[in-house]
């Protein structure tokens, strides 16, 4: 039987398709303003591409902030449980997950058998999330793909002290005006996200092995800033960006 | 009120809808209405003095002079339940009160300045203000400032900061002396305000009523374990309000007496040790309730998650010990204020929670990280870590605000609560 996971996040919508717990296919599209239209189109395109009849689908689990809009879901599960399930699938044995998504960041602690034992999420503010990075990339007239690589060649990280996205953006603009090297500013931005994440996690709660998921996990700069601050190495699964959808599909299997 | 209804039709309609959603039984509604009506009448009566105390202030001193206590925090709770606090809070902030300050305070200031009635957070102008720093420092500054703004006298009680539960009674005795000495200053202040002489006899009668109301309240709480789930909810939201603000009103005592009689009739003279109905998820809530979001509790209840115990509710009704002489009573009151349950040291507080987790067979704990009441949200991470470790149950720290809906995001809260429920579900297997 086919199992489908749909992760409708604030920035992107992801789909994962599994057959007998084997991952067959994943896809990511921007969520846009019409959540329902987006997942429906993605679902239809996936079915067409894989020649899936509805009768072949044994379960659909939806997750992410738009999970309740998926009326065909057999179950709706929170991102926390789906990210844990996704990691159990791709990196079994992981004990801590750092997930930085479009508008929220989470830290999930797993027990020995991969069950969720605790979680923390950012509150009330998008600082330290993917949206923060996007705003900074815009201010630096750069794109997110280059961010990670550029920061790795920085001589020293510039200091960005504000937690607020809007104020940090003006700090970045004044650093540009002062002639600070772009790589240094980017490294400073990564540092500020890593600092925020580390304070949310609380050092004592980090049990290794640690994995990182979410779109921001592709950014090597943030991963390395986190690794330095925590003094550990962090695994990034190949399915990092679609980890929630993969977890949802595995729960639907 | 009529003026308000005409002027603020939409707010009034929204507010009435908010009140309607509350888990109010007609009897509890009656006792609350008695308090608001008496506040309004006392204010209108030119021969009756009114004074405004903070929660936890020994109001018996006021009552011994026939001074009616007007509690701004209670009205701020009403406004919160009505779901109309946003405008008063913004009004207060427009006057320069910071976003970080207590939302009861800002609701009260804003609603009063906009001329809203007490059912909607406004405070009928009292003749003076009294407060103490027993619970928080906001109490002192808030009321001092109100007295200044309205040009009326103010009296503040300085309560020593005490960490209870360490067994150093020597300190406590000295602290009691210090507070009792201030009671005499308070009496002198009230004599001046009321133009009356203090009567020990009358004071003792008033104290007797307080002690009766508080004893009844705690006798009722002892039955909570066996009550059907629906009633727990009423406890968490509103049941403590009478004992918080009007423990001397005959209506409050009569109400609690009736409730206790009913419980005794149903469950016997001593609370049974068995649990009543077993909800899917039995939860403990810690902190002030989220007044404007009664929907959250209904939504959780739909998912089978009900709050069956709160330390906060249990912390009210402190006048539990009977006293007979005037000097003994003064010392007892001083001791009760100094050692309020929230002054317990962290280990004792955690131990208290752990004991209740066992007694009430709790599946999970929600700690309200209340953005505007930091005293009520202190040390939550330590509490969480300790309970997760000792009891192995999930503990959720929920960031919100008791009266300020701007600090609440439905989607964020629901995602956290759903994940929390999923964790409890996974534990049950
Ligand atoms: S800060 Fe807390 S204790 Fe103090 S007045 Fe506000 S709600 Fe009450």
pLDDT 10s digits, B134-178: 888 999 999 999 999 999 999 999 999 888 777 666 688 999 999
pLDDT (0 to 100) of residue B170: 66
Q: Where is the domain boundary, B199, B229, B246? A: B199
Q: Does A144 touch chain B (CB under 8 A)?
A: no
Q: Where is the domain boundary, B167, B199, B231? A: B199
- Residues B326 and B349 placed together within one structural domain of the fold: yes
What is the tens place of the pLDDT at every residue in B36-95?
A: 888 888 888 888 899 999 988 999 999 999 999 999 998 999 999 999 999 999 999 999
Chain A's closest residue to B408, CA to CA, is A124
Q: Please tell me whether the interface predicted TM-score (ipTM) of this complex is above 0.85.
A: no
Contacting residues of B for A104, CB less than 8 Å apart: 412
- Ligand 1 test: best mutation among B55, B131, B136, most atoms within 8 Å of CB? B136
- Residues B19 and B104 placed together within one structural domain of the fold: yes
- Residues B192 and B214 placed together within one structural domain of the fold: no
Alpha helices in B268-409 (DSSP H): 294-302, 311-314, 326-338, 346-359, 380-391
- Residues B156 and B25 placed together within one structural domain of the fold: yes
CATH assignment of the domain containing B223? 3.40.50.11900
Domains of chain A and any CATH numbers: 1-91+242-253 (3.30.420.40), 94-236 (3.30.420.40)
Q: Where is the domain boundary, B132, B167, B199? A: B199
CB contact under 8 A, B388 and A117: yes
- Residues B222 and B357 placed together within one structural domain of the fold: yes
Mean pLDDT of chain B: 88
CATH assignment of the domain containing B36? 3.40.50.11890
Does the Cβ of B312 fall within 6 Å of ligand 1?
no
- Residues B60 and B99 placed together within one structural domain of the fold: yes
Q: Does B425 touch chain A (CB under 8 A)?
A: no
B164-179 burial: b if 16+ Cβ within 10 Å, else e: bbeeeeeebeebbeeb
What strand order describes the sheet that includes A116-121?
A116-121, A105-110, A96-100, A210-213, A234-235
What is the tens place of the pLDDT at every residue in B173-194?
A: 999 999 999 999 999 999 999 9
**Residues pairing with B157 in the sheet:** B132
- Residues B248 and B144 placed together within one structural domain of the fold: no
What strand order describes the sheet that includes A57-63?
A22-30, A12-19, A2-8, A57-63, A75-76
Q: Decide if B22 contacts B298 (C-beta within 8 A).
A: no
Alpha helices in chain A (DSSP H): 35-50, 79-90, 130-139, 144-152, 165-177, 182-201, 220-230, 243-252
- Residues B225 and B344 placed together within one structural domain of the fold: yes
Gap from CA of B312 to ligand 1 centroid (Å)? 13
Q: Decide if A82 contacts A99 (C-beta within 8 A).
A: no
- Residues B139 and B230 placed together within one structural domain of the fold: no
- Ligand 1 test: best mutation among B56, B135, B241, most atoms within 8 Å of CB? B135
- Residues B276 and B372 placed together within one structural domain of the fold: yes
How many interchain CB pairs under 8 A, A with B? 37
> What number is the average pLDDT over the span B112-127?
94
Contacting residues of B for A80, CB less than 8 Å apart: 415, 419, 422
Q: At what angle do helices B138-150 and B103-113 cross, to 10 degrees?
A: 10
pLDDT (0 to 100) of residue B384: 94
pTM above 0.90? no
- Residues B6 and B133 placed together within one structural domain of the fold: yes
DSSP letter for A238, please: T
Number of structural domains, chain B? 2
- Residues B253 and B144 placed together within one structural domain of the fold: no
Which residues form the domain of B309? 206-428
Q: Decide if B365 contacts B283 (C-beta within 8 A).
A: yes
Q: Decide if B45 contacts B272 (C-beta within 8 A).
A: no
**Residues pairing with A36 in the sheet:** none
Contacts of A45 (CB under 8 A, 6+ apart): A27
What is the tens place of the pLDDT at every residue in B306-353?
A: 888 888 888 888 888 889 999 999 999 999 999 888 788 889 899 999
Contacting residues of B for A78, CB less than 8 Å apart: 415, 418-419, 422
């Amino acid at each position: 039987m086919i199992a489908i996971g749909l992760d409708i996040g604030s920035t992107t919508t992801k789909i994962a398709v599994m057959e007998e717990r084997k991952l067959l296919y994943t896809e990511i599209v921007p969520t846009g303003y019409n959540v329902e239209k987006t997942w429906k189109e993605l679902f239809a395109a996936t079915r067409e591409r894989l020649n899936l009849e509805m009768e072949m689908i044994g379960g659909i689990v939806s997750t992410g902030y738009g999970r309740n809009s998926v009326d065909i879901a057999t179950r709706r599960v929170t991102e926390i449980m789906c990210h844990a399930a996704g990691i159990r699938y791709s990196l079994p044995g992981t004990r801590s997950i750092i997930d930085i998504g479009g508008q929220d960041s989470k830290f999930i602690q797993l027990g020995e058998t991969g069950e969720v034992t605790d979680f923390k999420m950012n509150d009330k503010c998008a600082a330290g999330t993917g949206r923060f990075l996007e705003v900074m990339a815009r201010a630096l007239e750069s794109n997110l793909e280059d961010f990670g690589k550029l920061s790795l060649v920085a001589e020293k990280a510039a200091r960005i002290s504000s937690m607020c996205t809007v104020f940090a953006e003006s700090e970045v603009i004044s650093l540009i005006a002062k002639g600070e090297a772009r790589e240094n500013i980017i490294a400073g931005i990564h540092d500020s996200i890593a600092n925020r994440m580390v304070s949310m996690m609380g050092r004592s709660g980090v049990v290794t092995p640690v994995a990182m998921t979410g779109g921001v996990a592709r950014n090597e700069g943030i991963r390395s800033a986190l690794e330095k601050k925590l003094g550990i190495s962090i695994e990034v699964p190949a399915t990092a960006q679609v980890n929630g959808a993969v977890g949802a599909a595995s729960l639907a299997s | 009120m009529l003026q308000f209804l005409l002027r603020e039709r939409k707010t009034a309609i929204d507010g009435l809808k908010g009140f309607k959603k509350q888990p109010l039984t007609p009897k509890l509604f009656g006792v609350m209405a008695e308090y608001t009506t008496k506040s309004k009448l006392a204010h209108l009566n030119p021969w009756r003095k009114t004074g405004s105390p903070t929660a936890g202030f020994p109001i018996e001193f006021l009552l011994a002079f026939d001074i009616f206590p007007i509690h701004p925090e209670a009205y701020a709770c009403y406004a919160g339940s009505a779901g109309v606090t946003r405008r008063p809070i913004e009004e207060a902030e427009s006057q320069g009160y910071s976003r970080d300050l207590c939302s009861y305070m800002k609701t009260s200031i804003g609603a009063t300045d906009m001329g809203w009635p007490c059912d909607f957070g406004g405070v009928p102008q009292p003749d003076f203000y009294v407060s103490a720093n027993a619970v928080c420092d906001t109490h002192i500054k808030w009321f001092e400032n109100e007295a200044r703004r309205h040009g009326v006298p103010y009296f503040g009680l300085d309560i020593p900061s005490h960490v209870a539960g360490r067994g150093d009674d020597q300190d406590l005795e000295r602290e009691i002396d210090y507070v009792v000495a201030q009671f005499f200053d308070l009496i002198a202040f009230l004599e001046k305000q009321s133009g009356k002489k203090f009567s020990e006899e009358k004071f003792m009668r008033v104290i007797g009523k307080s002690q009766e109301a508080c004893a009844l309240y705690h006798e009722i709480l002892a039955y909570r374990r066996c009550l059907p789930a629906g009633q727990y909810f009423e406890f968490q939201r509103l049941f403590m309000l009478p004992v918080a603000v009007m423990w001397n009103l005959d209506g409050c005592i009569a109400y609690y007496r009736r409730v206790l009689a009913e419980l005794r009739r149903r469950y016997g003279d001593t609370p049974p040790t068995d649990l009543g109905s077993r909800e899917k998820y039995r939860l403990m809530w810690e902190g002030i309730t989220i007044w404007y979001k009664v929907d959250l509790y209904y939504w959780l209840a739909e998912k089978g998650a009900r709050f069956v115990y709160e330390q906060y509710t249990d912390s009210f009704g402190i006048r539990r010990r009977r006293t007979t002489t005037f000097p003994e009573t003064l010392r007892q009151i001083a001791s009760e204020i100094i050692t309020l349950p929230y002054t317990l040291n962290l280990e004792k507080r955690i131990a208290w929670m752990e004991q209740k987790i066992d007694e009430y067979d709790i599946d999970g704990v929600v700690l309200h990280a209340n953005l505007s009441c930091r005293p009520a949200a202190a040390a939550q991470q330590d509490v969480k870590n300790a309970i997760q470790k000792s009891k192995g149950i999930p503990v959720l720290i929920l960031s919100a605000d008791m009266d300020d809906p701007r600090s609440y995001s439905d989607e964020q809260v629901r995602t956290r609560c759903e994940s929390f429920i999923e964790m409890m579900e996974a534990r049950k297997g």
